[in-house]
Chains A and B, each alone.
Chain A
Amino acid sequence: MPKLTIDGKEIEVAPGTNLIEAARQLGIEIPHYCYHPGLSIAGQCRLCMVDIEKAPRPTIACNTQAADGMVVATQTERVKETQRSIMEFHLINHPLDCPVCDQAGECWLQIYYMKYGLYDPRMVDEKVHKPKAVPLGPHVMLDAERCILCSRCVRFCDEITGTGELGIFHRGDQSEIGLFPGRDLENKYSGNVVDICPVGALTDRDFRFQVRVWYLDTAKSICPGCARGCNIDVHVNRRRPHHAGGKRVARLKPRFNAEVNKWWLCDEGRYGYGFVDDASRVTTPVWRSEPVPWDTAIAEVTRALGRHAPDAVGVVASPKMPNEDLMAVRRLAEALGTRQVGFKVPPRTPGDQDDLLIRADKNPNTRAAELIGLDGDVAGILTAARSGRIKALWVFGHDLFDSAWLESDVTLALGALETLIFTGTNAGRTSALAHLVLPATAWVERDGTFTNWEGRVQRFRPAVEPLGEALPEWDIVGRVLGMLGHAASATRAEHWFVDLAANVEAFRGMTYQSIGETGRMTQ
């Protein structure tokens, strides 16, 4: 393990660590544009200069591996002067259109100019002009004048997706990022180039001109789009509700987790949050097509479930429900004494999968539903409903019509029920047939945990208030349990997690604290 000194501080790092990462471990920032820890070394921006003892001139830190006994200085006059020069070179042809640029507020040209630039501009000549507002694909827009040609996006498409849509064309200050002829930037991870673009050259067509970034709030979360459980930040606009057509969730951004998604997020997950602010959200409990107070709804649910023999009541949980809520459902089934519980509904079309992130299972919590013991025969439940053996059915989340099953079979099964209860975030064909509709919060409106396909338990935090009167499923189920005469002590999701950790072997001993920021594996 090489031991080196950076700005007078000694540190031992793993062999092969470059000076940017070694300094980062000491809390020392070495400014850079082209370097990205997930991509190959380009060495093009020339900003990450440091002084190394005995070297005749400043050296780029990104392409220098830490060596034993190396003495590095990041704050010499020579380094500062070089950084100032490089910042000026980066900006002479930049349009300086920050007031109309979406990147403003999170732009590394702005940030580094204030920290390492602060020179007096000398450029009086006409700047180089290049194409602006060029759609590269369904999600990404290019402004070539803002581009600093760091080549991160090119390397991403070459090295991470292997799709190679992008290149740098022409030479000198005419160089520009572009698509190879006949190509579009439409790989399944295209949104990541916007994240790694350090400037306003690549912007998100979905986010462009919606809201300024300084109005956004953020919460740590987990993508619910598939069984991978990519770590994300949810960016919400609560401060300017009149912007972006009232949409509260502005965008999802990947959050680094070395064990799960590294720096990346797929487009399907990234742009899959539309349901949260969609007009189809259910926002109030509905009984017999009329809005009712929660107390009325809970009382009706309890009555409908309680008046039948145990196995005449069915429950279809959802693998989109968090661990806590699935535990609550298990307790409900136990309280009712029913064995008619399941959660797997076959999708109409099988999900796609790849070797990078995307999993075929488009549910975030299938693993937990299995571990908690909810893996019953949903098709059998529907058959039993159709033949009248099941009289009351509580469906969580699923639209049973949106499945591989025949529409006529679902219609006959649901139509035969005495009581159909639907709990979910959005209305659909199943909720339209339900006698009781109970609005659930979307995952960004609450906290909880998901267990990914590998068994990693990960926390997500609330980013925005519940819409209307929506409640988390654990709360709805808990209220019913209370009415059924069971001690209803859970007032927070975490209380259900305590129950889970105490009573389901795979989760034994876990707490929200011990899960931490990067998750913890089930046993």
Chain B
Amino acid sequence: MTEKILTRNFDRADAHTLGAYRETGGYTGWEKARTMEPAGITEEVKKANLRGLGGAGFPTGMKWSFVPKNHTGPVYLVINADEGEPGTFKDRYLLERDPHALIDGMLIAARAVRCEKAFVYIRGEYVEPYRRFAAAVKEAYEAGLLGDGLDIVVHRGAGAYICGEETGLISSLEGKKGWPKVKPPFPAIKGAFGMPTIVNNVETIAHVPHIVNRGAAWFAPGIYEESVGITLRQLIDRAGGVSGNGRLKGVVPGGSSAPILRADEIDVTMDVDGLRNAGTMAGSAGVIVMDETVSIPEALMVVARFYAHESCGQCTPCRESTGWIYKMSERILSGHGRKEDLDTILDVAKRGAGTTICAFYDGAVGPYISYIEKFRDEFEALVTDGAGTRARATPAPVAR
């Protein structure tokens, strides 16, 4: 087993306190970074090839370097702690059990991008993570770490998945409806409150102190905990194997938006390239394991309901087809499907993909297509041609 980095303190009951964090070398990254030139910090993070761990995998150092050099007003650092991807709760543990690691990383990142005011946007449902993190911020202020060069505003979301999309998050932070923004301009040029804004994921920033402390060469090419490089099958075994009836049906490897893998497809390495070659993605790396008792048509209906519920409604293709696909999937599941519905779902999903402002719909398309293509027999067993689609009652509308 490789060295634990981010989770090293998870077993300590007092891991969330400043004292415990300092005992294990906390804030030494910041101590070192404050002697470095901002550009030098960015360079180190670039060399480490740190990639965004919210799901999109964008190189972090490169993102920092997009802030216009000649900008004279404020620059904002925004931490995306709106962790809402189904099957994903890594940031929650970091906020609850090692909140000072995030503050440490934020101090360094803020210096790199010349930010004096940073925001942490925490998912509304994350009550305990919010309490722990807010308490850590208070400790950091009392210890003089914050308030002298950097202020942190902790902001709680109100329970919308789309506010995890970086520009949707910015809209929400600005007090507006959480609609993603048309790009260009990109946030690093014109983001929150019209100012250059860097949006980074919690886990991404928690890595930064270690990179600064130990140097880019130590980090590259991406030693994140233990999972990268092991196969999906090994990972499931290490986590205790398949629950339920013990027989595997499918695995969603990177949050609900990642295309599903069949049981015979899981001998792939759990890294970006391995999963991409298998036709899926690492995404948020939140793994969902389904045993044989799981009905894939039901799983599709559940995930389709989620995306129909969470679509912000801004772009026509996403707004209209998430609801349409949910209705079709629900109708199929209840025994009123027609064979052509399966192809209609596939066609609608493919037509809408890539046509919208943000990546939400492309994420929804992952399960729509892969569930049907990989488990088509399960769907075909349910469709009953000509079984009175119109006679059926309306599916319950998606709750507001």
**What residues of chain A have their CB less than 8 Å away from a CB belonging to chain B?**
41-47, 49, 57-58, 60, 63, 81-82, 85-86, 88-90, 92-93, 122-126, 128, 148-149, 167-168, 170-175
Contacts and interface: CB of A to CB of B under 8 A. Distances in A.
Contacts of B328: 125
A148 B321 CA distance: 13
A46 B320 contact: no
A90 B321 CA distance: 10
Interface residues of B, number: 39
A58 B353 CA distance: 11
Interface centre among A41, A46, A47, A63 (most CB of B within 10 A): A46
Contacts of A171: 160, 162, 309-313, 400
A46 B317 contact: yes
**Which 3 A-B residue pairs are closest in the complex by CB-CB distance?**
A175-B313, A173-B323, A43-B182
B222 interface: no
B312 A126 contact: no
Given A86-B317, A172-B308, A174-B313, 4 more contacts: A63-B182, A85-B317, A125-B327, A171-B312
Contacts of A45: 315-316
Contact of B352 (A85, A126, A173): A85
A63 B184 contact: yes
B182 A41 contact: yes
Contact of A173 (B322, B331, B351, B354): B322
B357 interface: yes
A81 B351 CA distance: 8
Interface string B307-348: 011111111110111111001100100000000100010000
B7 interface: no
Interface stretch (B17-25, B223-231, B389-397): B389-397
A90 B320 contact: yes
A173 B177 contact: no
Contacts of B340: 122
A123 B324 contact: yes
Contacts of B317: 46, 85-86, 89
Given A63-B182, A92-B324, A172-B311, A148 B389 contact: no
Contacts of A126: 327, 394-395
A49 B357 CA distance: 12
Interface of B: 160, 162, 177, 182, 184, 308-317, 319-324, 327-328, 331, 340, 344, 351-352, 354-357, 389-390, 394-395, 397-398, 400
A46 B351 CA distance: 12
A172 B321 contact: no
B173 to A, nearest CB: 18
B355 A172 contact: no
Nearest to B322: A172
A63 B313 CA distance: 19
B162 to A, nearest CB: 8
Given A89-B321, A122-B344, A126-B395, A170 B182 contact: no
Contact of A44 (B315, B324, B344, B389): B315
Nearest to A171: B313
Contact of A172 (B177, B312, B327, B331): B312
A44 B314 contact: yes
Contacts of A88: 351
A92 B316 CA distance: 11
Given A90-B316, A172-B319, A174-B397, A85 B327 contact: no
A429 to B, nearest CB: 54
Contacts of A128: 323, 397
18 contacts: A42-B182, A44-B316, A57-B354, A58-B355, A82-B351, A82-B355, A88-B351, A89-B319, A90-B316, A125-B327, A128-B397, A172-B309, A172-B310, A172-B311, A172-B313, A173-B308, A173-B313, A173-B320
